[in-house]
Every structure is written in C-alpha cells, then in structure tokens.
Structure 1
Amino acid sequence: MGGDGLAITVTLVDDHPVALAGAEAWFAAASPPIDVVAAGACAQVAWTPPGDSATVVVLDLQLSGPQPAYADLRRLVDDGRQVIVYTMREDENTALTCLDIGAFTFLTKAEGKEHLVAATVAAAHGRPYTPPALAGAFGVNTRPDRPQLSQREQEVLIEWFQCESKELVAERLGITPRTVSSYLDRVRIKYASVGREARTKATLVARALQDGLIGIDDL
C-alpha cells in the first residue's frame, strides 16, 4: 500500500525492452503486487496519463544519447515526484549527483529485484532506503555525515524556517504546497539515510545549523 493508503503505482522509464519487462514482472510478483501504470523509453511517459499519477517513477539514467538524463531527473524532482534512479552506472559521483538533484535513492541494475521492490515500497511510504550502491557512495563522500542537499532543497528549507506555513513558502517560491512538502520530505529522508533523523522542524533547524546550511541571521 502507498503512503496515502492506496495501492503503490509505478511509472517505468527505460529504453531497454528487456529491462522494462523484467521490472514489470518483479513488481507483479511483489506481495502485495505493485501496479505498473505506464512504461516507456523516454521520460515523457511520466507526464502522460496515467504515468503522471504514479506514486513512484523508476528512471533509467542512461536513456537515448551519451549523456546521463540529469535534466529529466531534475524536472521530475521539481514536479514533486518520488524518483528511483535505476541504472547500469555504478560510479560514486553519479550516485551522489543524483541524490544532490533530489532522487529518492540510487540503484544499480546489478542490485536486482530485491532492492528495486524494497526501494519502491520505501519511496511510496516516504521511508529512507539506502541500497549498497548508495551506501558505497556515502562511504567515499568527504562529508559522510552530511546529506547532499540540492540548491532547491536548501532554498525551500530556508524559506520554511522563515515562514509560518508551507503555503507561504509555496507562494514565495512559485511552487505548490505539495511540492514544498515533497522537498521537505526528501530532506528528512536524506538526513535519516546518514543516521541523523530530523522528524521535527526544531530538529531540522538544528541539523541545518550544524552543517552550515543556514546561519543564525537566516532565522
């Protein structure tokens, strides 16, 4: 079940038919089954009904063309989507870049069914999930106890510290309250992923101060 009590739904974005078929079979065999509502070779499927309504987007980072699909990932994140990057790439810099942009988590295709299904369930419930590839990336990070927040996540965080409501943050930044909540959820997930949970606003303020993301003057 999803975080809102509804069945978990997924949109798959991958330009390899075998990979799409395999992921669909894994989700169908999950208990309870996870419904793949749309699948395709380009990210546009995630904005085309019914793909635009999916709880989670599973995105292959290497679509058509030589460059990683960072732009597609950023657009999905900015739209407030929960995105699992699922890719053949295994280097730590790519993993950390995806996390910095705002991906929910980063999986290599070698990690297979167990981690893809578990990560999808975690994403639907808003629970942190750190598979081996991402744990390894954290391990080589020069600041392993400090989550890598994207610039937009930091902007939302600071505005939220300064505002009385998410609605006011949304008005200031020109986004929706739902998107504000999504950004804040991702920040909390990132802190939890490095063992520093921040369930309350007060704790999140303390974490941000500790990490130099904000100063007293920002408050």
Structure 2
Amino acid sequence: MITAVVVDDHPVVVAGVRAWCALADPPITVLDSGPTVATAWVGPGAGADVVVLDLQLDLSGPAYGDLKRLVDAGRRVVVSTMRDDQETALTCLDIGAFSYLTKAESESHLVAAIHAAAANRPYTPPALAGALGADTNPHRPRLSEQEINVLREWFHCESKKGVADALNIKVSTVNTYLTRVRAKYAGVGRDAPTKAALVARALQDGLVRIDEL
C-alpha cells in the first residue's frame, strides 16, 4: 500500500488530491493533511511514504527550508505548487524533491509522481520538462565515459545491482562511480544528493533526453 501526506492550506485542493489518490491504480492512501509542514512530522503523516508539499511562501520567497529539512530526513517529496517559474522548479530538484508539478497539471501527473516517488524514481511532468529544457547553466562537470554509462543505466534500472549486471561490473563499482559523479557536480556548485536530482543534472547537461527516461 502506498501512503501519502498532503501539506496544503487550500481545503479544495486537499479534497481533490484525496479523491485522485483513492481512484489511483494502485490506490494511494492519504494518511493525513494539513496547512503546515508539521503535518508531515507528527501524527499519521510522519509515517507516509510520500510528502505532497505545497511550496508555501515566507518573507524571503518560497519556503525552501521546509523542503530541505524533509529531504535531509530521507523523506520522498513531491512538490505541488502554483509557482510555474523555472528557477523555483530547478531549485526544488537541486534540494532533492523527486518531482515538481504546478497545480495546473492534471491529476494523472500528480498520481504518477506519487507512484514514482514511492518507488524511489523521479518523474518529469510537462512543466518540469519545460524548466529542464530551458536551463542554460554553463557549469558542466567533466564526466568520464564510464561514469556517464553508469549514470544512464541507473536511470533505467530499479536497483544498483541491475546496473552492475547490465554493465558487467560490481555493485561496489557502481557506487564508486555514482559517488564520483555526485562529487563532481558538488565541485561545480550543483549538488545532486538524490537520484531525481541526478536525472535533472543529466537532462540539463544533455547526457540524456526526456524521451529516454
């Protein structure tokens, strides 16, 4: 059973998400909902597989701190927000969100994003695809051919063992290559702490295309 907690201060939105999740295949059980991120930390929501987070605003802009604390705690977060600008979308992926959706996107995309996050996979809805395609960040780490091969294969596999089997290498070697890739991205100021963030980086840098994921 897939479970979720919804952090959103709009009751109509929450009701819609609950209905979409109940009709999903496989179904998603919304354990709790509330207007603040505290809902994801205490009560039933603390044990949810996926956090659906409305990126609320504080005095300085989007409340990225809430997202970062959830990601740092190992939570799988799908951001669902009214904001549709490229900078916000890419920042959320940089922090470690599994996906980023605008509330203008259909219920099928939100359900697909929750299913993907529960399975530790990224999901790229249309708005996010547009943000990734428009990114022109000039800072590109120099990855070796084998690092790129491991990265691409990992995007297609459910596990690192699958990568190792496909490339005829050891799982420990897969881990080493992925660690090197993350270190290289961190070295140019473009941290990629999660698989979703690495997908974003690979798309930004032209290492993979959206239709290949």
TM-score, normalised to structure 2's length? Answer: 0.68
Please report the RMSD computed on the Cα atoms of aligned residues, expressed in angstroms.
3.0
d(CA) in 1 for partners of 2:182, 2:84: 29
**Which of 86, 92, 95 does residue 98 from structure 1 map onto?**
92
d(CA) in 2 for partners of 1:145, 1:17: 42
Kindly indicate whether residue 149 of structure 2 is the aligned counterpart of residue 133 of structure 1: no
Percentage of matched positions with identical amino acids: 55
Alignment CA distance shift 1:127-1:213 (3 Å): same
Q: Which amino acid aligns with 1:120?
A: I
Deviation at residue 111 of structure 1 after TM alignment: 1.0
Runs of 4+ in 1 over 6 A off after TM superposition: 144-147
TM-score, normalised to structure 1's length? Answer: 0.66
Aligned residues of 1:62 and 1:69 also touching (Cα < 8 A):
yes
d(CA) in 2 for partners of 1:133, 1:60: 16
d(CA) in 2 for partners of 1:19, 1:66: 25
d(CA) in 2 for partners of 1:98, 1:46: 18
Equivalence map 1:15-94=2 (5 Å)? 15-62=9-56, 67-94=61-88
Q: Which amino acid aligns with 2:106?
A: G
Kindly indicate whether residue 177 of structure 2 is the aligned counterpart of residue 203 of structure 1: yes
Aligned residues of 1:63 and 1:69 also touching (Cα < 8 A):
yes
Query: Residue by residue, what CA displacement relative to the aligned partner does 1:131-177 show, whole Å, maximum 9, x if unpaired?
Result: 11111111121249969xxxxxxxxxxxxxxxxxxxxxxxxxxxxxx
Aligned residues of 1:26 and 1:113 also touching (Cα < 8 A):
yes
d(CA) in 1 for partners of 2:131, 2:87: 7
Number of aligned residues: 164
d(CA) in 1 for partners of 2:55, 2:108: 20
- Listed as ranges, the gaps of 5+ residues in structure 2 are 142-150, 164-173, 189-213
Deviation at residue 67 of structure 1 after TM alignment: 3.1
Kindly indicate whether residue 196 of structure 2 is the aligned counterpart of residue 213 of structure 1: no
SS at match of 2:26: coil
